[in-house]
Amino acid sequence: MGAGVMKAADDGGGKRRRRRRRSQPMAEINVTPFVDVMLVLLIIFMVAAPLLTVGVPVELPQTQANALPMDQEEPLTVTVTGEGVVLIQTTEVGEAELVDRLRAIAAERTSDRIFLRADGHNSWDTVAKVMGLLNAGGFTNIGLVTDLETPATDG
């Protein structure tokens, strides 16, 4: 029985141990630039949104109808205020000259679509009369503009 050399236990067939990285990847997202961009966009839209509406104040009736698809041309809008004043876009027009103006406008446009914004306090007689004038002026595709009705809540 002779003395022998004993080998140390082998832990995996001579694989080298990898060194761990000293710097771990950052697991947090920096949201500060994202918040800055969102606040700038919010301010831009808050300033621009009021400029996109026609500037005649009327209280529109509320319905559950969907919005009409828009054309390439700027939409032509006729407004009837609560006092019965008729406006084309923002220009006040008397009922006697409404048909003549609409015929001149219809000759220049490719679309026969027109939008009628009538205050909810107007009688149906007034709205129907203006719709007849729009039709006589050459516009047969009349869209009635309303506000979206909020659903009633049981409470």
pLDDT tens for each residue of 36-53: 999 999 999 888 877 776
User: What is the reported pTM?
Assistant: 0.52
Residue 107, CA atoms < 13 Å, CB-side half-sphere: 5
Task: For the chain, give the number of residues.
Answer: 155
β-strand partners of 16:
none
> CA 109 to CA 57: how far, in whole Å?
26
> CA 24 to CA 37: how far, in whole Å?
29
> CA 155 to CA 141: how far, in whole Å?
41
Q: How confident is the model at residue 141 (pLDDT cuts 50, 70, 90)?
A: confident
